[in-house]
Structure 1
């Protein structure tokens, strides 16, 4: 069977759905190859014909823009945090959220780092709004992602929800505790051996302090 024959026909999708499917397939390749990734590689990973990519992206540069936006978008990790069961102990809830956030930032760093290392043109790390993409997506705005402040506010709100079952016994409001917890998590303290502190260790110190 030839490479062309092995590709399946792209399922019925609107342009926005097709873009999302292609970006999802492209992200691991971008993290590995950076800007050197080819649209042929992306097409193989997505099991589509290469021409399908150019029905929803003007060129490879626009596809890379979309990958950067996807890497920066906190929507997926916020969904994971929202799915944390509130009937678990608070320590388990916070550890699960911390692990999800750490994985999100690792993915983001892998994509942005690979693009930078392979010579992504300066200024492309914050993709532009492209009206062509908006038109192809049927009017939905493309090429935009939450700003840093908005992303942090949404993250604080999501983590604050994890404190709600204990609200009556909290020393501070959930939003304040969430901000402090995220500050500890994002500071990424390093141990003597050079390893990042374990999320469970951060949660333990956050909830119980340094003393036994």
Structure 2
């Protein structure tokens, strides 16, 4: 196994441990989860900090959510496509949030090793969601890319606000597609 493959294997084994134990996870736990000796960890990473940074980068990567959105059939109704996208995006945000919360138990901010990739990540997500709107472009009031941006803004801000008033993805999608006014 090459160095990069070994690093990737270790990172994928460590992610759930970090969510469960935070930075207190031991090298013994890491080695056991990865099925390797403790010394192998330090042949792949110079220290735990470098390993945690690699885990953070992996958790922030949008690859999984982009793949999930790409698999959504475009022949489904738009509401169904957006619901599936919201579920995939929600799972992505949950994974990121769980890891970030585990790595920041004291409230002290750690540097993010991926700050420069945030814009590219959001752009890729917007482009993926734009594809979901495109089959209905002739019936849309705004261009597909603008609606994708609006959808992501509503979805992400709803999660960030953590409202407990029942406002979920379904309600956001309903208002986005049908407006705020009810039947008059």
1:110 aligned residue: 98
Q: Find the aligned partners of 1:57 and 1:201 in 2 and give their Cα distance.
A: 45
1:71 aligned residue: 59
8 Å CA contact 1:36–1:118 kept in 2: the answer is no
8 Å CA contact 1:34–1:118 kept in 2: the answer is no
Q: Find the aligned partners of 1:53 and 1:64 in 2 and give their Cα distance.
A: 12
Greater CA drift, 15-24 or 42-51: 42-51
Encode CA deviations 1:149-173: one digit per residue, 9 max, x unaligned. Answer: 2211111101000111112222111
Q: Find the aligned partners of 1:38 and 1:118 in 2 and give their Cα distance.
A: 18
1:174 aligned residue: 144
Distance 1:29 1:195, change over 3 A: farther
Q: CA RMSD in A?
A: 2.0
Q: TM-score, normalised by structure 2?
A: 0.88
Alignment counterpart, residue 39 of structure 2, candidates 47, 51, 55: 51
2:112 aligned residue: 126
Give the count of matched residue pairs. Answer: 180
2:83 aligned residue: 95
Q: Find the aligned partners of 2:68 and 2:111 in 1 and give their Cα distance.
A: 25
2:16 aligned residue: 28
Q: TM-score, normalised by structure 1?
A: 0.77
2:125 aligned residue: 155
1:85 partnered with 2:73: yes
What secondary structure does 1:162 align onto?
helix
Distance 1:73 1:87, change over 3 A: same
Q: Find the aligned partners of 1:22 and 1:171 in 2 and give their Cα distance.
A: 48
Encode CA deviations 1:129-165: one digit per residue, 9 max, x unaligned. Answer: xxxxxxxxxxxxxxx5752222111111010001111
Tell me by how many angstroms 1:52 deviates.
2.2
What secondary structure does 2:104 align onto?
helix
